[in-house]
Chains A and B, each alone.
Chain A
Amino acid sequence: MTPEVLVEISDLNFSYNSRPILKGINMTMKRGQVIAIMGGSGSGKTTLLRLIGGEVVPSSGYVKVSGQVVHELERDALFEIRRKMGMLFQFGALFTDLSVFDNVAFQMREHTDLPESMIRDLVLMKLHAVGLRGAHHLMPAELSGGMARRVALARSIALDPMLIMYDEPFTGLDPISLGVIGSLIRRMTDTLGMTSVIVTHDVQESLKIVDYVYFIADGVIAAHGTPAEVRDSVTPFVHQFVHGEVDGPVPFHYPAQSYRRDLNLEKALV
């Protein structure tokens, strides 16, 4: 079976208020793949997911999902394609006025005519997968950060979409749930033949489960490869990232004028 391409990103450019965030991104994602997107904080990973979901419109280039250019779709067609996408938001974005159960049941109730008893079974199954079946009656305010993220994960897989985007699914998780969630993503992708896109900073954990890695820096793809290639890479950029070194090509600081000048130390020198 030759895996078909689900997402195709071609020469994608995007800027916020004329500040370029992404410059000429090219990616392909196939069915059955788990793809990791890594990059420094503020490098535009969340923005890339928003572009795939059609929430923002690129300044040039395009994102194609199952052959359709996302930003050219009419509203109804966009909603049609979004039904087949799941997105785990970086901050969970649980509906605070609904219980955990109702959060996970939300899409089933909105988009399907399933009987309430079947919805109940499905919701409990999804919650069981993230280890929170017992917490189904709680309100989001009563959850810890990691629990909320797991509920959000259960919600994003509620309708078994063909493409799931996880914006940092591992942050705030303890090592045990981290491992469980990681293998859950891998297993779902394999059994359902879907595509998973993971934005993550957790290099070690994600290298265990992903098929391909993209590194984004300065709005371009700085490096990409399979986990094996990445681990053995001698590219300074990848090496710095994989081993978490402070010094290297990836800047820790947001672009700014010189530190000395900001602290008014340079005046004396002039």
Chain B
Amino acid sequence: MFKHLAASIRGIGHRTIEGIWQLGHATRFFLLVLLKSGTSFRRFGLVIRELYYVGVLSLIIIVVSGLFVGMVLGLQGYETLQKYGSESAVGTLVALSLVRELGPVVAALLFASRAGSAITAEIGLMKATEQLAAMGMMAVDPVARVVAPRFWAGVISMPFLAAIFSVMGVFGGYLVTVTFIGVDAGSFWSQMQSNVDFRIDILNGFIKSCFFGVAVTAIAVFEGYDSPPTAEGVSGATTRTVVTSSLAILGLDFILTAFMFRGL
């Protein structure tokens, strides 16, 4: 009994230390990537190539999900608001939920599973097949040549994807409430415009998505670069990318929200 307790406490302690060690390792890698980002900007073609894989190929899922999320928000919001006779506020509801929370958060979650996992798998496989070692032997730094361009492509894509998600959501909400249900289009827009603030809502949503972009891509490149060079290693790293970045997104969202909207 006592032995079991001691063993489990020791296990917890061990895992905590392991976690701290891993965090430090990841932070050092993150700084290394930043330090070696010069190449990415001197040869922006490298980043453009990755923008295609990370950004353009994520568009479909972002557009479709944004549309549906907006439609559901419109429908649910209308159901509730019409009980109080304020169905014209549905535009405000849809836009605020999207711009403040759902746009950045859901887009980042989708981005993590669509692009983050792909980045991890690609870098992990390049490591497992010795491509990174070969690059190093050719006197080309793999962190500068492979990791940094992917990191920056992710950081650049995320705010755009979140904005596109929000716009598609507003459009979906408009489609359901105005086109199908028949809420007045004028009050839909005017209510929205008088209640959504540029600085407080849109700029903060944008800042959130920038944070998420950095977090997701940093986790993805780290997990890929750090993965054991085997098939299980790469698949485990891919799973960890999705799980860790989802948790990071939600945790960061809480912290950022607390900072941004505290006074309101």
Where the two chains meet, the residues of A that have a C-beta atom closer than 8 Å to any C-beta of B are: 53, 55, 79-80, 82-83, 85, 87, 89, 91, 93-97, 106-107, 110-111
Closest to A49 in B: B137
Least Cβ distance of B133 to chain A in Å? 6
Q: Is the CB of B136 within 8 A of A110?
A: no
Where the two chains meet, the residues of B that have a C-beta atom closer than 8 Å to any C-beta of A are: 122, 125-126, 129-131, 133-141, 145
Q: Is the CB of A94 within 8 A of B137?
A: no
Q: Is the CB of A82 within 8 A of B133?
A: no
Q: Is the CB of A89 within 8 A of B139?
A: no
Least Cβ distance of B43 to chain A in Å? 10
CA A106 to CA B133, docked complex, whole Å: 14
Contacting residues, chain A, for B135 (C-beta < 8 A): 95
When the two chains form the complex, which single residue of B122, B129, B131, B136 contacts A55, counting CB atoms closer than 8 Å? Answer: B136
Least Cβ distance of B42 to chain A in Å? 12
CA A91 to CA B134, docked complex, whole Å: 10
Q: Is the CB of A55 within 8 A of B138?
A: no
When the two chains form the complex, which single residue of A79, A82, A93 contacts B129, counting CB atoms closer than 8 Å? Answer: A93
Which 7 interchain pairs have the tightest Cβ spacing? A93-B134, A93-B130, A82-B139, A79-B139, A83-B139, A87-B137, A110-B140
CA A94 to CA B126, docked complex, whole Å: 9
When the two chains form the complex, which single residue of B131, B136, B137, B139 contacts A95, counting CB atoms closer than 8 Å? Answer: B131
Q: Is the CB of B138 within 8 A of A82?
A: yes
CA A250 to CA B200, docked complex, whole Å: 75
Q: Is the CB of B137 within 8 A of A82?
A: yes
Q: Can you name 11 A-B pairs with beta carbons within 8 Å?
A: A55-B136, A79-B141, A82-B137, A89-B134, A93-B133, A93-B134, A95-B126, A95-B135, A96-B131, A97-B122, A106-B138
Contacting residues, chain A, for B141 (C-beta < 8 A): 79
Q: Is the CB of B129 within 8 A of A111?
A: no
Q: Is the CB of B131 within 8 A of A111?
A: no
Contacting residues, chain B, for A111 (C-beta < 8 A): 139-140
When the two chains form the complex, which single residue of A80, A94, A97, A107 contacts B138, counting CB atoms closer than 8 Å? Answer: A107
When the two chains form the complex, which single residue of B129, B137, B138 contacts A96, counting CB atoms closer than 8 Å? Answer: B129
When the two chains form the complex, which single residue of B126, B131, B134, B145 contacts A87, counting CB atoms closer than 8 Å? Answer: B134
Q: Is the CB of A55 within 8 A of B137?
A: yes
B125, B131, B141: residue with the most chain A Cβ atoms closer than 10 Å? B131
